[in-house]
Amino acid sequence: MKDYSNNFDFEKWSSLASTDPEAFEQYRKQVINNFIQDLPEEKQQRMRCLQWRVDSIRRLAKTPLAACIEISNMMWDSIKGKNGLLEALHGLTDPYTADAATSQAPVRTTGSEPNVLKFPGKSRKKADLATQDLL
């Protein structure tokens, strides 16, 4: 996979956007598609769907600033929202407070049996009889 981290030339992109917006848009799409194609195959479909969402937001927004804000909110939701990164990290560090939506039972790490307390009250036989009456 190529290293895209140092290949961005802001002046070049800014100049192209100012002088030829159509060429800028074509080049933008080409670079994004090349980046997605360089990803491992199992991640490509997810990234295409994400890019479709971003492009849809840009197309439907009334202004570029509105699109920017909406895309930023989408990113924050993926971090802080339901099933987001923070929730996933909390689930890894404290499985007993993880969201039940993950449907994963907490993993017991102590290796010992739970300490069950006995409370005074009805005898076991009376409790069993009461339960049977309910059934």
Nearest 5 degrees, angle CA 85-CA 10-CA 41?
A: 45
Cα gap 125→103, rounded to integer Å: 35
Task: Give the pLDDT band (50/70/90) at residue 122.
Answer: low
Q: What is the pLDDT of residues 15-56, one digit of tens each?
A: 999 999 999 999 999 999 999 999 999 999 999 999 999 999
Longest dimension (CA), the chain: 88
Q: Is the pLDDT higher at 7 or at 66?
A: 66
Angle subtended at Cα 79 by Cα 77 and Cα 82, rounded to the nearest 5 degrees? 60
Higher pLDDT, 105 or 60: 60
- Does residue 102 register a pLDDT over 60? no
Query: What is residue 28's predicted lDDT score, i.e. its pLDDT?
Result: 93
Q: Is the pLDDT of residue 128 over 60?
A: no
pLDDT of residue 97: 58
Q: How far apart are CA 135 and CA 128, in angstroms?
A: 11
61-66 long-range contacts, Cβ below 8 Å, gap at least 24? none
